[in-house]
Structure 1
C-alpha cells in the first residue's frame, strides 16, 4: 500500500485499468461525499441551526399540568409530548429569550396544539391561561369545593359529593376522622397553597394533591408528638385548635394568645368558663355563616357538637384549613394567663383579658364601637 513494490513482477507489459473499475471508484467516492454531506448538514443543524418549531398561535385546547420545580427542559418535554410545541429546544430557547420566561410556575395551563414556542411561553405567562385553585389560610372546605367546581366547569356540589363519598381514598393520615360527629372528614386537610385545576381534570385528583400536602406538612411538624406535650388527645385536636386560632385571630401575636386562651379554657381547673370555649367561629361553622352578631338565645338553644357555647371542650374536628402561622402559634402559645378576647372594633382589632372583670370592659368597648 506504500508503493514500494515497483521492483516485483518484472514483466514489460502493464495491465490497463478498465473503464468499469474507474466508474466504480468514482461512484463509491461520490457516494461517500454524499453521505458526508448529509450527515454534516444535520450535524450543523443540530449544533447551529434553529430548532424545529411551529408557526402561529395553534388551535384547539390542551390542559397541561406543570409540577413544582420543573425547569424549562422538563416543561418543554411535556409540551412536545402533548403536541403543543414541535421541539423541546424551541421551547427552551423561547423561554430564555423572553425576559419573563423564568416566571413560569407550577400549575395547570390551558394551551393550544401546534403553537410556536414563543406563543406558548407568552400564553403560559398570561394569568388567563393559568387554571389553578387557591386555598387561603382559614378557608373552609365548602369554599374550596365551590372553587374546584368552578375551575373544572362542574355543576355545583360535584366536588363536595366526591369528598363526602370518597374521603377514605384521598390519602388522609391514619389519625384523621377520629370522631363520628365530624361534619367533613377533609376539613383541615386541604393545605393552603395553589393547586392545578383545569377542565378535564377530576375533582378527586385535585383533592388528593391538597390532602397530600397537608399530610406531608403535618408529619414534618411532628403533630403526633406535639399533641402529647400540649395535653391533647391526638394530632387531629392540634389541627382543630389551629383552625380555631386561624378563625379568631388576625396577627401572629393574636394567634399565640388565642392558642393560650384555648388551652387555658380546656383545663379541668378552669372555673371561669367551666371548660366552655365559647367561640363564635364554631357556631358560625355549623351554621355555614360568618356573623359576628349572634343573639344569646339563638346560640344557647343550639346543642350541636360544634357549638362551644353549649358543649364543653373542643369541637369534633377542625372548622377550616389553618395556615403555617396559626399552626406554629398553636405549637408555641404564650403563657401569660389569657382567658378572654374580644374584637373590640368588630373587625380587625382583638384585645385580650385575664379576668372576667377586664373582659366586661372589653365588651363595653365593642358595644360602643358597634353602636349597641
Structure 2
C-alpha cells in the first residue's frame, strides 16, 4: 500500500472514503511525470523506481492514476492541500473545482488527459458547483497526515438510520490500511504522522487501546519480574540465615528456669553430654541437645553429672538444667545404693508416698508376676524369700507424691533388666558351672555383700566359685558367708555365735546348706556383677578383714587361722 492510502491495484482501499479520488487540483492533473507549474520532470515521493522511465507504470504512480484523477474533489495529491478558488497554475488560468462533465473513472472522448484544461469548462469563466457548501455534503478532505478512516455503521441497515452519526467519537474506526510492502507483523496503531512527537492519542484524548494494553502488559511483566526478584532475594536470605545459624549461630534454647510442671528423667549410667541432652530433650526439659552440651562444657562441674533419676521442670534453659542437675536437691529421689536389700527399698517407698508401713512389701509379694521380671527369674520364685530380690537395680528413682508403688517397682525392675541384658548371663553361667542367670546374679549379690572395694570383688568371686567346686574338702562345698545368715534374719551383725549360725536350718543359711542360697540376698551393682562374670583366677578360699577396712585373702586354712587369731587379738585389746 502506498502512503496515500491506495493499493497497487485498480481499486481504492476504502471506496466509501469521502476523500476517495482526490488526486489533483480541482481535477486538473498534469503529466504523470511533469510539474504543471514548471513543466519539468517530477517524480513522486521516494523517486522513480530503478530502471523505470517517467511515464512507465513503475515510475512511482500506478497505471490507473489517470483514471483516478477524474474522481478527485479538488485535492492536491502532492502537497496535501486544496487550491483555493482562483488560484493560478502558472499558465494564467484559475482553478475553481472538479470536472463537472466527467464521470468518475472515465475520460471524455477525444480529450487529452494530459492537457492542462481538458474537460474543465469552469476554467473559462463558468461558476463551478460547490460540493462542500450544502449541509448534506461531506466535509472538505483533510491532508493525508491528518486523515482518519471513516467509521463504519454498526450493521447493514445503520446507514439508513437517522441516529447514526459517523462523526460520533464513540464510534470505532476500522483498522488502518496495510501497506503493500509492510511486513506481516507491522503495527499500524503505533504509526505516527510525520512531524509528530510523543505518544499517539485517540480521538477522545487518551492513549490508543492497543498502546494502553501493551503498557498494561509491560507493567504486569515488570511487576512479575520484581516479585520474582524480591522472592529470590528473600529465599537466599532465609537459607543464608539458616546456614549461618547452623554453623555459627547460637543453638535453640528455652529461657528461664522452666514451667511449674515437673518431669522425671532417668539418665543411664555412663551417659555423656549428648546422650544426657537427648534424654532431656525427649522429656521436654530443654529445646536442643547442642544448647545443653554447650552449657555443660561452660560449667566448671558440668562433667560431674551422674546417672540416675532427676526431677526437673519442663522448658528450662540449658544452663538452668545443668545447674539443677548438679544440685543435690534435684536428686532428692529414692537412691538405691549397691547391695541394698528389698526390705529397705519397700520402707523408703512407703515413706515417700506417705503410705502405711508394709504397703509396698505387700504389693511386691502378691503382684510380683505382673511387675515385669525376666522369664528366667520366675522359675522357682515361690521358694525364694522375695521374688524381686536382686531386681530393684541400684540407681536414683523419682518417687513423687501420688505415684503408685507398683509403678515405682516396675521402673526399678525395668532398669535391672536392661542392665542385665547387656551381658550374656546365660552363656557365662554355663561357663562358670552355674545353673543359669539367676545363680549368677546370686553370686554377684554375695560378692557385693562381703566385698569392700573393687579389688575385693574379683577375689571374693573367686572364693565363691572355689568353694562350690566338688573337690572342696575344706568347707565341703559350703559357702559359709555370714551375709546369708544376716539376710534371712534381716540384720547386719558382725559377731554371730558359731553355735547359732551352724544349727539354724534355713535355705539361706550357707553354714547349714551346701551351694548357693535360693536367690540373691541383695541388689548388686555393676562392679559386683562384672566381678561375678570375670572372677580372679587365684585359688582363694578364705578371707578376713583384720582392721575392718581392708580384706586379706588366703588359699589355705593355716594362713587363714593365723589371720583369725590376729583379728581376735585386736578385738580383745579394743574391748
Normalised-by-shorter TM-score class: 0.7 to 0.9
Name the stretch that deviates more: 231-240 or 50-59.
50-59
* CA distance in structure 2 between the partners assigned to 1:71 and 1:332 by the alignment: 28
Tell whether 2:187 aligns with 1:9: yes
Cα distance in 2 for residues equivalent to 1:221 and 1:72: 23
For residue 362 of structure 1, the aligned residue among 563, 570, 573 is 563
Q: State the distance in 2 between where 1:273 and 1:320 align.
A: 24
**CA drift at 1:213:** 4.3
Alpha-carbon distance in structure 2 between the residues aligned to 1:321 and 1:185:
12
For residues 539 and 531 of structure 2, what CA distance do their matches in structure 1 show? 16
1-side partners of 2:428 and 2:254: how far apart?
56
Normalising to structure 1: TM-score of the pair?
0.74
CA distance in 2, matches of 1:198, 1:349: 37
Q: 1:100 — aligned with what?
A: 299
User: How far apart are the structure 2 equivalents of 1:359 and 1:189?
Assistant: 34
Q: Write the deviation string for residues 247-273 of structure 1: whole angstroms up to 9, x where unpaired.
A: 222345543443343334334444433
Partner of 2:391: 189
Q: Distance in 1 between matches of 2:280 and 2:423?
A: 35
RMSD (Å) for aligned C-alpha atoms: 4.4
Show the 5 A alignment for 1:42-53: none
Please name the residue that 1:123 is paired with: 324
User: Following the alignment from structure 2 to structure 1, what is the Cα–Cα distance between the partners of residues 252 and 424?
Assistant: 50
Q: After superposition, where does 1:288-303 map in structure 2 within 5 Å?
A: 288-303=490-505
Q: Which residue of 1 aligns with 2:262?
A: 62
Comparing both structures, which one devotes a greater share of its residues to helix? 1
Question: Counterpart of 1:321 in 2: which secondary structure?
Answer: coil
Per-residue CA distance 1:103-152 (angstroms, 9 max, x = gap):
46665443446655654453344332235444433222233444455566
| Structure 1 portions without partners, runs of 5+ | none
CA–CA distance in structure 2, aligned partners of residues 153 and 314 of structure 1? 37
Closer/same/farther in 2, CA of residues 216 and 369 from structure 1, 3 Å limit? same
CA contact (8 A) 2:349 2:360 kept: yes
Following the alignment from structure 1 to structure 2, what is the Cα–Cα distance between the partners of residues 229 and 44?
Answer: 61
Of 243, 248, 272, which aligns to 2:474? 272
Q: Deviations over 1:69-121 (max 9, x none)?
A: 56587456446xx5x67xx36x8547635613964666544344665565445
Asked if the contact 1:149/1:158 (under 8 Å) is kept, the reply is yes
Contact 1:146 1:157 in 2 (8 A): yes
- Pair 1:75–1:183, CA change in 2 (3 A): closer
Task: After TM superposition, list the pairs within 5 Å mapping 1:246-325 onto structure 2.
Answer: 246-325=448-527
Q: CA deviation at 1:303?
A: 1.6
Distance 1:94 1:197, change over 3 A: closer
Per mean C-alpha deviation after superposition, the further-off stretch among 203-212 and 244-253 is 203-212
1:50 and 1:263 mapped to 2: Cα distance? 57
Which range is displaced more, 362-371 or 219-228?
219-228
Residues 45 and 228 of structure 1: is their aligned pair in 2 closer, same or farther, counting only changes over 3 Å?
closer
Contact 2:277 2:293 (C-alpha < 8 Å) held by counterparts: no
Residues 324, 330 of structure 2: 8 Å contact kept: yes
- 1:353: Cα distance to partner? 4.8
* 1:162 aligned residue (343, 349, 363): 363
Structure 1 position 141 matched with structure 2 position 342:
yes
- Structure 2 residue ranges without an equivalent (≥5): 1-182, 192-199, 201-207
- 1:167-246 pair list within 5 angstroms: 167-179=368-380, 180-192=382-394, 194-199=395-400, 202-246=404-448
Helix, strand or coil for the counterpart of 1:221? Answer: coil
Higher-RCO chain (CA-CA 8 Å, sequence separation at least 6): 1
Asked whether the equivalents of residues 459 and 553 of structure 2 are also in contact (C-alpha less than 8 Å), the reply is: no
SS at match of 1:60: coil
Alignment partners' CA distance in 2, 1:94 and 1:220 = 28
Q: Contact (CA 8 Å) 1:95, 1:118: kept in 2 or not? A: no
* Higher radius of gyration, 1 or 2: 2
Indicate the larger mover: 257-266 or 149-158: 149-158
Q: Distance in 2 between matches of 1:73 and 1:277?
A: 46
Residues 42 and 113 of structure 1, relative CA distance in 2, 3 Å threshold:
farther
Give 3-state SS (helix, strand or coil) of 1:172's partner: coil
TM-score (normalizing by structure 2): 0.51
How many equivalent pairs are there?
Answer: 360
